[in-house]
Structure 1
């Protein structure tokens, strides 16, 4: 838990970052590397599992249907390796990723074209090839598979601690257990928390599922929807297969069985003999009451979707999950991120709506948010991430 020295209202920071998940922690880290006096605020005592950055495993991959994500992840690999070297911690384990889909699926075609154009190392499998290489996976409906040979698994908990430690080692200040109550914008931004008041020339908001609540009083009604995601772990029917479960690849099933969203999975590692498989969508929820489902919204039958997937495509696993956990997504309508300046207050920067696929990009996202806060223009085309793409949100200064 971070130190609790008394706040000094006369103290002026170069930047305050609100939200110490993986995106905010990397933004603070890059600011500290640029020798900016930076304060990182987190509403919950650290470490915690209330947001979207906890747990053991996240996928990193070059395979994306959008070229702008493939371009970003190329730098992300380099920056993850840099953090590993700085922290002397092993954060990444190479593991091939299988993309499974009907060949004529438009999204799969976009995956294929992007991998080809960006020269992503890959291997194509027919159902027979796949059965020989990975006997635990069965293609049963005319699907095909292509593997992303650059992919791997990131250790989320270790990565979050590593970047926070590096931030503090560079002189950054981190205060947890401090809920932000009020933001007063201006040339100097004032942030009032449950423990004190802070001032800074720049503010970066990376508050995850709580971002909408913080930004609405600043005239920015972003269409962010928190979702509760079921994180499920599955056991082999035959105890003798437990060892082979750790040899499975990562996988991403696209629109299988007529479902709109993806199913993704990991080889056994977090829990001995248990394979992690999740449905890439969930049910709307209040992040402060994650156990109380939003009755006004339709509930997603995610567990049944996963049962059906396991029964058909991973027949060696029990069709009932052995263990269930949860995680929060914060989705935008198009599932692209928000990386932008406030339309009225240019010294307020927003990183939000990572829609369950932002963790892998965190080193690059943090760098982009740092550059935006310093008045610089990042090297990437940020038009897919601009606030102005949402029709109900102000497109110009008020």
Structure 2
């Protein structure tokens, strides 16, 4: 076992949040090591400014700019604009929040009344009392491609990535010591962005109960009559609010993973442990999705064509009670930074989350109000 002291900062977790943190640190001329501890999954994610909270919409302004910058640096397309349909009962609190925040922040938006909706989206059922709006800036992020791109730029700036070297111990102090199966590292600061494994790491020397790990079934659906919906090229992403009997939203997007199918999921799953997700057999979310598709998306088969449930494909989410992120210094150790609890909607924020965590690790004050993301709120 060797003793390494060559890095200013070590980041545990090479998903999109950790990789963008490493990217920004390398841009600040910091010697940075990125340790893989389980990374972001899947080919596609939704990117949008439509949110129920102003602070997320504000962050997305810079996110779009930084995603475009990465596209230019890596010379690769990472985004396809489709718009996102936000649909729900007109008197639904969440729907009104979306509508007012988009207007207040001057996000390009279309309001679709019943007649226009049926003309433009005849394959989608608009129930009595429902309204719809379209955030026209939204679209699809090519997630795996984006992760590879940011890591490639990080390495071109001198950053180092190590796979499969799991951290087994963290010793806080003025210099943080991180021990893996093969190395002992001492560094000025440590950033934990380990996704579902973050609780395990944070429990090594201090008690935390900030997040719950859940597994969702990622489902893909096909048309009843192939080619009638033009799923892959014309349909927007969507968020459906206010479905009777459902506590959480439904969402969908065109699928790169399975051409000709549509990716539709429920925004919550079953509690699990990250290393036991392949043993999870709960299909409650699949049942809810089948009911949703039968009522709202009449052109699709009511049962999914593909359900991703194998461990390497399962979507494990780290969820906080309020579904807001944790972006903070450790309460007792200022040089240990925590990025966690992204609750199934954090991928699109990767560029700004990475910038915030970078600044925290450098002892600087981020430009965003981080009060919604403080760990002590939990």
Question: What TM-score results when the alignment is normalised by the length of structure 1?
Answer: 0.91
Query: Of the candidates 35, 52, 72, which is equivalent to residue 41 of structure 1?
Result: 35
What's the counterpart of residue 204 of structure 1?
191
Q: 2:44 aligns with which of 57, 68, 87?
A: 57
Given that 2:52 and 2:101 are in contact with CA atoms closer than 8 Å, whether structure 1 keeps it comes out as yes
- Given the superposition, is the C-alpha separation of residues 348 and 12 from structure 1 closer, same or farther in structure 2, using an over 3 Å criterion? same
CA distance in 1, matches of 2:326, 2:93: 25
Q: Does 1:78 align with 2:47?
A: no
Task: Give, in whole Å, the separation in 2 of the partners of 1:58 and 1:220.
Answer: 32
Q: How well do the aligned residues superpose, as a CA RMSD in angstroms?
A: 1.4
After TM superposition, the structure 1 = structure 2 runs for residues 117-156 of structure 1, keeping only pairs within 5 Å, are 117-156=104-143
SS of 1:349's partner is strand
Q: Does 1:260 align with 2:247?
A: yes
Alignment partners' CA distance in 1, 2:231 and 2:332: 55
Select 2:155's aligned residue among 168, 185, 190.
Answer: 168
Provide the C-alpha distance between the structure 1 equivalents of 2:255 and 2:192, rounded to a whole number of angstroms. 35
Alignment of 1:310 onto 2:293: yes
1:210-359 alignment runs, 5 A limit: 210-241=197-228, 243-293=230-280, 301-325=284-308, 326-359=314-347
Q: In the alignment, which residue of structure 2 is the partner of 1:29?
A: 23
Shift of 1:374: 0.5
Shift of 1:128: 2.4
Matches of 2:346 and 2:115, distance apart in 1? 34
Q: Is the 8 A contact 2:220 2:261 kept in 1?
A: yes
Q: Which residues of 2 match residues 107-122 of structure 1 at below 5 A?
A: 107-122=94-109
Deviation at 1:43, TM superposition (A): 3.4
- Unpaired segments ≥5 residues, structure 1: 1-6, 45-50, 391-398
Change (3 A) 1:268 1:200: closer
Offset of residue 308 of structure 1:
1.0
Contact 1:12 1:201 in 2 (8 A): no
Could you list the per-position Cα deviations for residues 16-48 of structure 1 after superposition, in whole angstroms to 9, with x for gaps in the alignment? 00000000000011000000000100136xxxx
* Preserved CA contact (<8 Å) 1:242 1:273: no
**2-side partners of 1:164 and 1:317: how far apart?**
37
- Displacement, 1:8? 4.6
**Cα contact 1:136–1:248 (8 A) shared by 2:** no
* 8 Å contact kept, 2:70–2:149: yes
Question: Contact 2:242–2:249 at 8 Å: present in 1 too?
Answer: yes
CA contact (8 A) 2:165 2:181 kept: yes
User: Would the aligned equivalents of 1:286 and 1:292 in 2 still touch at CA under 8 Å?
Assistant: no
Deviation string 1:159-189 (CA, Å, 9 cap, x unpaired) is: 0000111111100111001111000111111
SS of the residue aligned with 2:46?
strand
Q: How many residues align?
A: 373
- SS of the equivalent of 1:218 reads coil
CA contact (8 A) 1:338 1:385 kept: yes
TM-score using structure 2 length: 0.96
Contact between 1:43 and 1:179, CA under 8 Å: does it hold in 2? yes
Deviating more after overlay: 104-113 vs 30-39: 104-113
Residue by residue over 1:242-264, the C-alpha shift from the partner in whole angstroms, topping out at 9 and shown as x without a partner, is 63553111100012123110100
- Given that 2:95 and 2:241 are in contact with CA atoms closer than 8 Å, whether structure 1 keeps it comes out as yes
